Amino acid sequence: MGQKVNPIGLRLGVNRTWDSRWFAARQEYAKLLHQDLKIRKELKEKLNAAGVSRIIIERPHKKCRITIYAARPGVVIGKKGADIDKLRKDISALTEGEVFLNLVEVRKPEVDSQLVAESIAQQLERRVAFRRAMKRSIQSAMRLGAKGIRMNLSGRLGGAEIARMEWYREGRVPLHTLRADIDFGFAEALTTYGIIGVKVWIFKGEVLEHDPMAQDKRWSQEASGPSSNERPERGERNNRGPRRDRNNKEA
């Protein structure tokens, strides 16, 4: 069962919660759900260059609060916040009530399954060799703390006449274990030979307690913590020893 089903849907209510968080009466439910689909489609198209990983929609009383997880939030904000104001007006036309936009930076896009899948799809469209793209992404994810990663590519790989599927795995990816925190992403590469599907599973550890908000808490901790790629401030030597005085050189 775990091998076939979407790992996100299988773990809803266990260690992950829904991306649309609102309650509606029976006669309003279909309308609000359709609005959510249109909002997500609009944001994905307009923020294609921002590296959008996840969009969470909440609907408090007569309001719409949208949280966007993006690898490059500066692209969303624009110069002096002009782009995000325009985006808020465009989204307001798709839904009822006042719209609030929140931005959260994805500090480690190499271990975000959706961003990894989209990155591989973009490389395939640029005619990068698919095995090289897969292995490079796997090495980056494992180096930045992933416990395991698995990738599936299916289609006319390398322009072959017959479509096939190839997959790579490194580390552990326990799909049957419900307490496993597994992130799943999917993207499509539109190549000259046809569509190539990209699926990525990333295992980030186990959640031992029953907490549907566990993954959201981990996302917020990663967003508030320092980035692994940030250069230390001047003066923070990180146990590199005392600074050598260049003026007192030995003769």
Q: Residue 3: what pLDDT?
A: 82
Tokens standing for residue 230: 């940030």
Reported as a pLDDT band with limits 50, 70 and 90, residue 80 is confident
8 Å CB contact between 47 and 12: no
- pLDDT beyond 80 at 16: yes
Domain coordinates in residue numbering, the chain = 17-105, 109-207
Q: Residue 2: what pLDDT?
A: 74
Reported as a pLDDT band with limits 50, 70 and 90, residue 79 is confident
8 Å CB contact between 108 and 144: yes
Overall average pLDDT of the 58-71 stretch:
92
Overall average pLDDT of the 222-246 stretch:
52
What is the rounded CA–CA span in Å between residue 141 and residue 15? 21
Q: Residue 61: what pLDDT?
A: 85
Cα-based angle 118, 141, 17 (whole degrees, multiple of 5): 70
What is the rounded CA–CA span in Å between residue 226 and residue 52? 20
Averaged pLDDT score across all residues of the chain: 86
Reported as a pLDDT band with limits 50, 70 and 90, residue 230 is very low
Q: Residue 228: what pLDDT?
A: 43
Q: Is the pTM of this model over 0.85?
A: no
Q: Sign of dihedral through CA atoms 51, 56, 62, 63? A: negative
Looking up tokens 């799909």 gives 175
Q: Which class is 17-105 in CATH? A: alpha beta
- pLDDT beyond 90 at 238: no
CATH code of domain 109-207: 3.30.1140.32
What element of type H or E holds 185?
Answer: strand 180-191
DSSP at 182: E
Q: Which residues contact 94 (CB under 8 A, 6 or more apart)?
A: 35, 38, 39, 42
- pLDDT beyond 50 at 227: no
For residue range 111-170, what is the model confidence (pLDDT) as tens digits?
999 999 999 999 999 999 999 999 999 999 999 999 999 999 999 999 999 999 999 999
- Our CA dihedral for 191, 107, 111, 13, rounded to 10 degrees, sits at -110
What is the rounded CA–CA span in Å between residue 148 and residue 182? 9
Q: Residue 100: what pLDDT?
A: 92
Nearest residue to 120 (alpha-carbon basis) of 141, 139, 134, 103: 134
Number of neighbours of residue 166 by Cβ within 10 angstroms: 14
Same fold, 17-105 and 109-207: no
